[in-house]
Amino acid sequence: MATREQAKTFRAGIPVLLLGTALLPLLHLAGCAPLAPPGSKAEQVLRVRMREDPPDTDPAQSADTLSDRLNLEVHDGLVDFEPETLEIVPAVAAAWALTTDGLEYTFQLRPGVRFHNGRALTSDDVLYSFTRILDPRVNSKRREILAEVKGAEEFSAGKSPRVEGFEAVDPLTLRITLAKPLPYFLQLLATPAAAIVPKEIYDDPRKGYLAHPVGCGPFQVGRWVRSSFLELSAFDGYYRGRPKLDRVLIRFIENPASAMEEYKAGGLEWMDELAGSETQIARDLPGDYRKGPYLATHYYGLNLARKPFQGNVDLRKAFNYAVDRKAICDQVFEGNHTVSHGILPPGTQGFNPDLRGYDYDPEKARQHLAKAGYPGGKGLPSIDLWVNNNQKLVQAAQKVQADLKAVGIPVRIQAVDFANFLQAVLGTGEAPGEALLYKFGWQADYPDPAAFLYWLLHSRNAGPAGNMSRYSNGKVDELLDRAQNLVRIEDRIPLYREAERIAVEEDAVWLFVSNMTERFLVKPYVKGVVLSSLGMSRIPFDRMWIEKPPAAGPEKR
């Protein structure tokens, strides 16, 4: 119980407390002098917006664009993609040779490659990193990139203590033997998951590498304050030469509208996931707005394992003819998507410009609807269109809903969060999910047509592996299998084109909508920006530099 004296003291303090509080804003304002920009003097700093902290700093688990962005700056693999041309170029491996049967790769490592902790990289590190991806205890999400290595399956199943196809010939030479030819194996080795990591760091049972990843890439991880920022600093010992940027400051800003204001105020040099009208942004910031091709497709999946789409190709064609894709691309995506006539986006090896797909033709849609057994939509139950809760995607879904309704197809929109959406689409076990119609996007990790067609169409991948529609056509499977076993891309392309034609024109496996582009803002004084159709995470920071330090602004961090 408080004494009267204590109460008196407290009461006497109230005015002081109130006065102090009232003065707080003034104290705050006193500390508001503009900071000197971090890029002042000769220091080269790039400030980048990222939506949130990258979830997986372990490259073996890297399965999202944020993690890929970080992992590609911190780590390197044996080979890499040239960002613009997507050609395979040497990285840690200086050269390689492939036997004529397409089974055995011998890699010669560059001498003098070092990890951020100073230790020299050897072929043992490469094999450690690759074995780790296949190790069931690691539970890697990207096991598929090495699944075709000889003995990989036995090792992952615990039947063998080592992967038979891995061999360190000497400290700078290693050999990888495949169980069967895989023509795009080098492309898989250029994905972020195939990064080379030091054993002494990544064997840590306490997993300290999650907070402080160590690699041999151009930047090393410095301070990381969760939900605030992550600092990357140039690695002096980088084998391709120290990056021109001294630091990359990744700032975690979830709200795109706030990030846009921060960008305009000069607190960011780079931002993606633009807020508001992109037409307006492009008009307001013409020197900053960049747009490039993106190997990604946007479509509405049809659940082929359930009625009414199961076994009813006319109904699927009716859906395709009913929707005005161009209107979606122009009105919802402001011209930043292009109409897709098939599965492969332009720029993918094997893209077929002659594939016609489906034009917007409501009359044909009605005819196919009648042939499907639902004349004028009679007897067709209302179908839920599942979409991830995102403003643009919901707008696109509303357009699809209106177009389908115009030909008599009743559709309800279910806009839910991503976890809920996945459960509806994929189900929880072997059985397909409840979603009959759902918006999906697919982006390639590598430019080979298999990155789309094998994963999205082969019945072996039905379900969560990629073929979420659970499409199954023996002829398509056979074409895809044959294409996988041929070495020359020229021989494979006709097979892929035929498989795609069947899936699109004969089977109408999805409701095809659009191909995406990549858009972002970068300050004009940032030079050396090289676009990549594999997405923004593939645009290398180590090639960039700041031509002149930004002038001091109100907020620079």
Partner 1 sequence: MIPYVLRRLLGLVPVLWAVATLIWICVFLLPGDPARLLAGGQRSDPQVVARIRADWGLDDPAPVQYLRYLSGLARGDLGTSYLQRRSVARVIGEAFPPTAVLAVSAILLASAGGIALGILSAAYVRRWLDDLLAFLSLICVSLPAFWLGLMLILLFASSLGWLPVLGYGMDGFRIPGTGIRLPELRHLVLPAATLSLISLGAIARITRASLLDVLQQDFIRSSAAQGTAPAALYLRHALKNALIPVITVIGIDFAGLLGGAVATEFVFAWPGLGKAIVRGIADRDLPVVEGGVLCLCLAFVLVNLAVDLCYVLVDPRVRLGKT
Q: How far is the CB of 505 from partner 1 (least distance, A)?
A: 26
Q: What angle do CA 335, 337, 340 make, to 5 degrees?
A: 130
Q: What residues from 96 to 115 belong to the interface with partner 1 (CB under 8 A)? A: none
Nearer to partner 1, 380 or 424 (CB): 424
Q: How far is the CB of 258 from partner 1 (least distance, A)?
A: 5
SS3 78: coil
Burial label for 517, CB within 10 Å (0-12, 13-18, 19+), is middle
Q: How far is the CB of 417 from partner 1 (least distance, A)?
A: 6
Does 494 interact with partner 1 (rule: CB under 8 A)?
A: no
Interface segment toward partner 1; rule CB under 8 A; list 83-91, 176-184, 245-253, 490-498: 245-253
Does 212 interact with partner 1 (rule: CB under 8 A)?
A: no
Nearer to partner 1, 301 or 408 (CB): 301
Does 205 interact with partner 1 (rule: CB under 8 A)?
A: no
| The one-letter amino acid at 494 | P
Contact track, partner 1, 285-324, x by CB under 8 A: ----------------------------------------
Does 45 interact with partner 1 (rule: CB under 8 A)?
A: no
Question: Which of residues 12, 31, 382, 490 is near partner 1 by CB under 8 A?
Answer: 31
Does 253 interact with partner 1 (rule: CB under 8 A)?
A: yes
Nearer to partner 1, 407 or 450 (CB): 450
Buried b (16+ CB within 10 A) or exposed e, 96-110: beeeeebbbbbbbbe
Does 431 interact with partner 1 (rule: CB under 8 A)?
A: no
SS3 413: strand
Task: Give the integer Cα–Cα distance in Å for 243 and 164.
Answer: 38
Q: How far is the CB of 140 from partner 1 (least distance, A)?
A: 8
Q: How many residues bind partner 1 (CB under 8 A)?
A: 72
Buried b (16+ CB within 10 A) or exposed e, 248-285: bbbbbbeebeebbebbeebbbbbbbebbeebeebbeeb
Are residues 397 and 439 in contact, defined by beta-carbon separation less than 8 angstroms? yes
Question: Which of residues 52, 87, 203, 478 is near partner 1 by CB under 8 A?
Answer: 52
Q: Are strands 219-225 and 229-234 parallel, antiparallel or unpaired?
A: antiparallel
Residues 6+ apart with CB under 8 A from 62: 56, 68, 71, 141, 142, 192, 193, 195
For the record, the structure tokens of 261 come out as 């204001």
Interface segment toward partner 1; rule CB under 8 A; list 94-102, 133-141, 362-370, 373-381: 133-141
Cis amide bond preceding 308, omega within 30? yes
Q: How far is the CB of 197 from partner 1 (least distance, A)?
A: 16
Does 64 interact with partner 1 (rule: CB under 8 A)?
A: yes
Phi/psi of residue 407, nearest 5 degrees? -100, 5
Q: How far is the CB of 303 from partner 1 (least distance, A)?
A: 15
Residues 6+ apart with CB under 8 A from 209: 57, 58, 197, 201, 202
Nearer to partner 1, 317 or 439 (CB): 439
Question: Which of residues 141, 240, 326, 399 is near partner 1 by CB under 8 A?
Answer: 141
Nearer to partner 1, 292 or 433 (CB): 433
Question: Which of residues 65, 106, 338, 423 is near partner 1 by CB under 8 A?
Answer: 423
Nearer to partner 1, 530 or 551 (CB): 551
Does 428 interact with partner 1 (rule: CB under 8 A)?
A: yes
Interface segment toward partner 1; rule CB under 8 A; list 219-227, 313-321, 330-338, 373-381: 219-227
Q: Return the DSSP state at 36.
A: P
Q: Return the DSSP state at 433.
A: -
Question: Which of residues 95, 265, 530, 551 is near partner 1 by CB under 8 A?
Answer: 265
Q: How far is the CB of 254 from partner 1 (least distance, A)?
A: 6
Does 6 interact with partner 1 (rule: CB under 8 A)?
A: yes
Contact track, partner 1, 144-183, x by CB under 8 A: x---------------------------------------
Q: How far is the CB of 117 from partner 1 (least distance, A)?
A: 21
Task: Give the integer Cα–Cα distance in Å for 344 and 202.
Answer: 37
Nearer to partner 1, 7 or 95 (CB): 7
Nearer to partner 1, 21 or 100 (CB): 21
Question: Which of residues 160, 228, 277, 485 is near partner 1 by CB under 8 A?
Answer: 228
Task: Give the integer Cα–Cα distance in Å for 440 and 172.
Answer: 43
Does 16 interact with partner 1 (rule: CB under 8 A)?
A: no
Q: What angle do CA 140, 457, 79 make, to 5 degrees?
A: 45
Q: What residues from 445 to 484 belong to the interface with partner 1 (CB under 8 A)? A: 455, 463-466, 468
Q: What angle do CA 295, 419, 134 make, to 5 degrees?
A: 65
Nearer to partner 1, 276 or 376 (CB): 276
Q: What residues from 495 to 524 belong to the interface with partner 1 (CB under 8 A)? A: none
Q: How many other β-carbons are positioned within 10 Å of the β-carbon of residue 426? A: 16
What is each CA distance from 403 to 362, 367, 409, in whole angstroms?
8, 15, 9
The helix (run of H) or strand (run of E) holding residue 399 is helix 391-406
Interface segment toward partner 1; rule CB under 8 A; list 5-13, 197-205, 325-333, 351-359: 5-13
The helix (run of H) or strand (run of E) holding residue 325 is helix 325-327
Q: Which of 101, 97, 103, 96 is closest to 179 using CA atoms?
A: 103
Does 2 interact with partner 1 (rule: CB under 8 A)?
A: yes
Does 116 interact with partner 1 (rule: CB under 8 A)?
A: no
Length of the chain: 557
Question: Which of residues 36, 89, 169, 225 is near partner 1 by CB under 8 A?
Answer: 225
Interface segment toward partner 1; rule CB under 8 A; list 90-98, 164-172, 263-271, 351-359: 263-271
Question: What does the radius of gyration of the chain's CA atoms come to, in whole angstroms?
Answer: 27
Q: How many other β-carbons are positioned within 10 Å of the β-carbon of residue 206? A: 6
